[in-house]
Amino acid sequence: MGIVIVTIAVAVLTTIGVVPMNANTTAAALDQNGVSVPGALSSRLGDNDTVTKTITVGSYPYGVAVAPNGSTAYVANYNSGSVSVIDTVTGTVAKTITVGSSPWGVVVTPDGSTVYVTNRASGSVSVIDTVTGTVAKTITVGSDPFGVVVTPDGSTVYVTNQRSGSVSRIDTVTGTVAKTITVGTGPRGVVVTPDGSTVYVTNNGSDSVSRIDTATGTVTKTITVGSDPVGVVVTPDGSTVYVTNQGSDSVSRIDTATGTVTQTITVGSNPVGLVVAPDGSTVYVVNLTAGSVSRIDTVTGTVTQTITVGTDPFGVAVTPDGSTVYVTNSQSGTVSVITVAPTTSTAAANAAAQAAADGDRTSTTNAASTTTATQAAAATTAPTSAPTTSSTNTNAASSAAAAVHASLGEDRSSDTNAAASAVGTAPVTSNPSAAAGSAVPAAVSTATSSNPALAAHELASTGVNPIIPLGAVTIFLLTGLTLLLHRRQTQCRR
């Protein structure tokens, strides 16, 4: 009788989703409450970015930049004196353009019409017309030009001159140097803030960062960082600057409001190039001698993954949609293509389930018919500092919920494509008890024989552990069954 009871218990627990139906169920398919997550949702909880392709380019590639439309990547080949034009769709080199001697840095203008390349041995910048694929102009700058950046409006290009200890400011209309700004020793990396008001330059020989006011063209502050700083990036909201310290094997995190280093993050050996994801959630750091890329979570300030690439990697760029990262491997003469896993944090997943539990299931436009959950997740990113309460039609949690239910073949109330526009106005409350009280009935009501696990997950998202109520029901059923069997056995003995 004991065996029968155990067998029935397992069957019941499996049916309600408390016990995995498959022994191969992994932690990736479970949320923080240990509840099985629907397949479409669990597939977006993975967090491993992987190298999916390696492209052969010229000799000693260093700088790399991606066009604004994401269709093309440009790679500066130091020893070849050329730029490789990569078709990002096919992953092949479509064209090779001859530039100056020892090209290094490369940047594409916001409109995608022009590419600027620094030629270290020539002391010049090559201006490439992307339509014709030819060098339209060559501009003389300082000695050993290294980094290059263009302002958001495309009107100005800034070039760091390593041996001159200066920055050349180029007027893109006239194609001439409008001003030369003195900075620290051995300037290398350069970045401009999203509003175009400030430029940050890493001084490799001074272990510092120069902050330049673009309106006046003067250095307004010098910030001390780690040893031998090289690369520099700024987050999309302009609040934070990240600097690689090659000699310290670390990354300095700078608060742009105060101009101070707020955190130092340890990464791989000899960090050089770095790039920030378009949504600001991640920073990718290239570790030269380690042959790897460190992925940093900008919220926690920790390295969440280390990705092995080619030999002596240096440059790095990311596509506008954040789906792909390109890394140049100088010794290998290749470019590693990293496919970014479409991820959703546990918190976002819970918010999605909460929104789904509170929302209406009717829809004028079936989200499932127009997009998959994975595509919706890639197109929609929940803000890292989202407010606790929201009733707008652009709520990221509602968008994620729409994607989840679209993958399950369910409809939600929507005036447009739910996955693309994130409609549905389910408010998210910061009061756990209130959330649980209002969402439990909705979560329970969604339980169907076709997908009971969804109800369990939605119940978990409210802050109530589904093990407790579901377990209580199970115990009640088993107790009744035990008493029934005991009664029948007693009757048989009589």
What single string gives the DSSP state of each residue in 282-347?
EEEEEETTTTEEEEEETTTTEEEEEEE-SSSEEEEEE-TTSSEEEEEETTTTEEEEEEPP----HH
Tell me if 493 is assigned to some domain.
no
User: Could you tell me if 262 and 371 lie in one domain?
Assistant: no
Enter the tokens of residue 79: 């020893």
Q: Is residue 478 part of a domain?
A: no
99 and 228 part of one domain = yes
Q: Which of 289, 318, 339 is the last residue of a domain?
A: 339
DSSP secondary structure string for all residues of 167-188: EEEEETTTTEEEEEEE-SSSEE
CATH code of the domain covering residue 271: 2.130.10.10
Residue 25 sits in the same domain as residue 159? no
In a shared domain, residues 286 and 139: yes
Domain boundary among 275, 305, 339: 339
Exposure string over 276-315, b if 16+ CB within 10 A, otherwise e:
bbebbbbbbbbbbebbbbbbbbbeebebebebebbebbbb
**Continuous segment of H or E residues that includes residue 471:** helix 467-493
Same structural domain, 311 and 217: yes
Could you tell me the CA-to-CA distances from 297 to 15, 56, 283 in Å, in that order?
A: 37, 30, 7
CB 126 within 8 A of CB 117: yes
Confirm whether 472 is domain-assigned. no
Q: What is the pLDDT of residue 234?
A: 98
Residue 470 forms part of a structural domain: no
Q: Are residues 399 and 286 located together in one domain of the fold?
A: no
**For residue 123, which amino acid is it?**
G
Residue 380 domain flag = yes
| Start-to-end C-alpha separation, the chain | 18
Name the domain boundary from 324, 339, 354. Answer: 339
**CA 136 to CA 125: how far, in whole Å?**
11
Residues 299 and 266 in one domain: yes
Which residues partner with 213 through β-bridges?
A: 198, 218
Q: Report yes or no: 312 and 324 within 8 Å, Cβ to Cβ.
A: no
- Domain span at residue 128 reads 50-339
Q: Please report whether residue 118 resides in a domain.
A: yes
58: DSSP letter: S
Q: Kindly state whether residues 325 and 354 are assigned to the same domain.
A: no
Residue 483, pLDDT score: 72
The reply to whether 7 falls in a domain is no
Q: Provide the domain count of the chain.
A: 2
330 shares a domain with 374? no
Six token digits for residue 430: 């910061």
> Residue 474: what pLDDT?
60
pLDDT means per 10 residues, the chain with 494 residues, are 49 44 34 32 55 98 98 98 98 98 98 98 98 98 98 98 98 98 98 98 98 98 98 98 98 98 98 98 98 98 98 98 98 98 56 52 38 37 36 38 36 34 32 36 39 43 47 65 66 54
| 369, 445: one domain | yes
- Minimal CA–CA distance to 103: which of 131, 129, 74? 74
Residues 258 and 364 in one domain: no
**Whether residues 115 and 189 fall in one domain:** yes
